[in-house]
Chain A
Amino acid sequence: MADPLSDVLKHLLELVDVLDRAAVAAFGAQTGAEGARTAFTEAGRGSANPLITQAATDARTASDAARDAGQALGRAARAYAAYINTIAPGTAPTRQATPGSMPTGEQLLKPASGGPLSKRILARAMIPNFDDGLEGLQTGANRLQDAAPPGDVVVPRPPTPTVNAANTEGAHLGDALLAALTIAIVGIRASESVRRLRERLRARSRKNKRGSDDG
């Protein structure tokens, strides 16, 4: 029979693994939502329909929410790993930031280096005239001249099919939901293991106490 503490550690490590995978799924959902936003924006070209703009805004909100969820799941995984290493040092792998992982809370709160971003971006542009053959300014002028004069009817273009983007987002969200369910199941298993361990320890304590009383 397996050692009860090993059983608990096994389930906790499984939980960390599931949290990690859920974080990846959440970041995947963020990518999907971002793709949906791009698709909505593309589909809305030439259309002044506010629903398209709203759809893009909502997709961005979903993207931000998925990113936040991914960061929270990553923090949870780190916290569990730290807990495991406290009760059984060296059991959980060292939690290093993986390439492409989202920033920690500390990083999120880190002030921008070199002063406010607004001043830095302004300072970068302090070139009286950039040697670009006027390409920078002409881009705006050309687009303005191409733009429909006020009052003109803008003919809506056929919307770009968004089936793939929607399916992708659905798949990511499905992954995230599945991951959340798995977390719940694994969490229940881990808590059951902890409960069983406590009962065994209590039983052992009672047995020892009886033994010493009898002796």
Chain B
Amino acid sequence: MDDNTKFLRALLRQDWDTYNAYVAEYTRQGIGTPVAIIACAFHLAVQRRFKSTGSMAEIIRFVADTRVFFADGKDLPPREAEALICAVLDMDAPWVEEIVDRIDILALSKIEGQLVIKLILDEDLSDDELDAFLADAEHLLHEQGQ
């Protein structure tokens, strides 16, 4: 497991000591958000959650729940969040493509980061299950040539 994945793991596990140590180290080195591993984890988590039974109503409900969970949801725009989930599921209606195409990388990492946190919290994974999930995410990352 590389540092970017361990960083994400600390966040998903809410291991704040480890997380804060990574924040300090990354900040010192001037390294930014590990966007690629977040994207891969998001991709897999969405597939696991919605692939078999996913419906638009279920997606809308999940995003609404996540906004409620994150207290005020001000950093989680619902249309963009729903569009990103639909995009992973290849529900490529024109509105999905239109919204996804105009999301910049920073917004993408913010939205996917929050959604993947909620998706993994909802799964209530054990440490081993979380490690297996992150190993799959790293595998997907390597498949993308990273």
Contacts and interface: CB of A to CB of B under 8 A. Distances in A.
Given A116-B90, A117-B96, A122-B40, A135 B60 contact: no
B109 A137 contact: yes
B1 interface: no
Interface stretch (A123-131, A167-175, A179-187, A188-196): A123-131
Contacts of A44: 64, 68
Contact of A41 (B36, B78, B105): B78
A19 B60 CA distance: 31
Interface residues of A, number: 52
Contacts of A93: none
B117 A122 contact: no
Interface residues of B, number: 64
A112 B64 contact: no
Interface string B3-45: 0100110010010100100010011001111111111100100
A174 to B, nearest CB: 25
A128 B70 contact: no
Contacts of A133: 27, 32
A103 to B, nearest CB: 5
Interface stretch (A8-16, A45-53, A203-211): A45-53
B48 interface: no
A56 interface: yes
B65 A53 contact: yes
Given A45-B73, A56-B60, A126 B145 contact: yes
A97 interface: no
B35 A128 contact: yes
Nearest to A55: B64
A154 B71 CA distance: 9
A134 B70 contact: no
B112 to A, nearest CB: 7
A94 interface: no
Contact of A112 (B33, B61, B97): B97
Contact of B70 (A38, A116, A127, A143): A143
A111 B89 CA distance: 14
B72 interface: yes
A118 interface: yes
A136 to B, nearest CB: 3
A145 B11 CA distance: 10
Contacts of B114: 139-140, 143
A46 B36 contact: no
A126 B100 contact: no
A2 interface: no
Given A57-B57, A116-B90, A137-B34, A147 B70 contact: yes
Interface of A: 38, 41, 44-48, 52-53, 56-57, 60-61, 64, 103, 107-108, 110-112, 116-118, 120-141, 143-148, 154
Given A46-B71, A137-B34, 20 more contacts: A41-B73, A41-B78, A45-B68, A45-B71, A53-B64, A117-B90, A117-B96, A118-B87, A121-B87, A123-B144, A124-B108, A128-B4, A129-B33, A132-B33, A133-B27, A133-B32, A138-B23, A140-B110, A140-B114, A140-B117
The 5 closest A-B pairs by CB, nearest first: A136-B109, A125-B39, A136-B33, A140-B113, A143-B70
